[in-house]
């Protein structure tokens, strides 16, 4: 249930950040600053729980681990709405790396932490 709430919040932020009104808040960096915790903390938490924990471990319980890694990484890539084949491949490879990290450590916190770090680096570089 909390994943649904987080998805709804992210959807609302995406709508707000795309609005081009004359209001002060739309012409400032407030929306950008407010979306940083969402991209760096909340997003990685729910994405890793969905794609690594639920899809890999719970949905495909009896499947081989490599198949679950590929399926969850494909879904992860599609979820991020890639604009071209190279961005699709980048998301897919990142999903595979996250799946490997989760399988090797047997701990969901390792991919969550690395996902947070990667998102933070991307925000700082942009």
Number of domains the chain contains: 1
Residue 7 has pLDDT above 70, yes or no: no
Q: Which domain holds residue 78?
A: 2-125
Q: Which residue has the higher pLDDT, 2 or 116?
A: 116
Q: What is the pLDDT of residue 2?
A: 45
Q: Is 26 exposed, middle or buried (0-12, 13-18, 19+ CB in 10 A)?
A: middle
Q: Crossing angle for the helix pair 109-125 and 85-105, nearest 10 degrees?
A: 150
Tens-digit pLDDT profile for residues 20-66: 544 444 455 666 777 788 889 999 999 999 999 988 877 776 678 78
Q: Which residue in 50, 73, 41, 37 sits closest to 4, CA to CA?
A: 50
Q: How many CB atoms lie within 10 A of CB 88?
A: 16
Tens-digit pLDDT profile for residues 76-125: 999 998 899 999 999 999 999 999 999 999 999 999 999 999 999 988 88
Which are the catalytic amino acids?
47
pTM: 0.74
């Amino acid at each position: 249930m909390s994943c649904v709430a987080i998805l709804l919040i992210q959807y609302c932020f995406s709508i707000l950040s795309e609005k081009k009104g004359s209001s002060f808040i739309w012409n400032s960096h407030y929306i950008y600053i407010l979306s940083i915790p969402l991209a760096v903390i909340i997003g990685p938490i729910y994405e890793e729980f969905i794609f690594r924990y639920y899809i890999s471990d719970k949905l495909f319980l009896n499947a081989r681990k490599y198949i679950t890694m590929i399926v969850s990484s494909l879904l992860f890539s599609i979820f991020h709405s890639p604009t071209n084949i190279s961005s699709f491949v980048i998301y897919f490879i990142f999903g595979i790396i996250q799946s490997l990290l989760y399988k090797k450590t047997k701990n969901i916190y390792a991919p969550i932490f690395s996902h947070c770090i990667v998102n933070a680096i991307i925000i700082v570089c942009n």
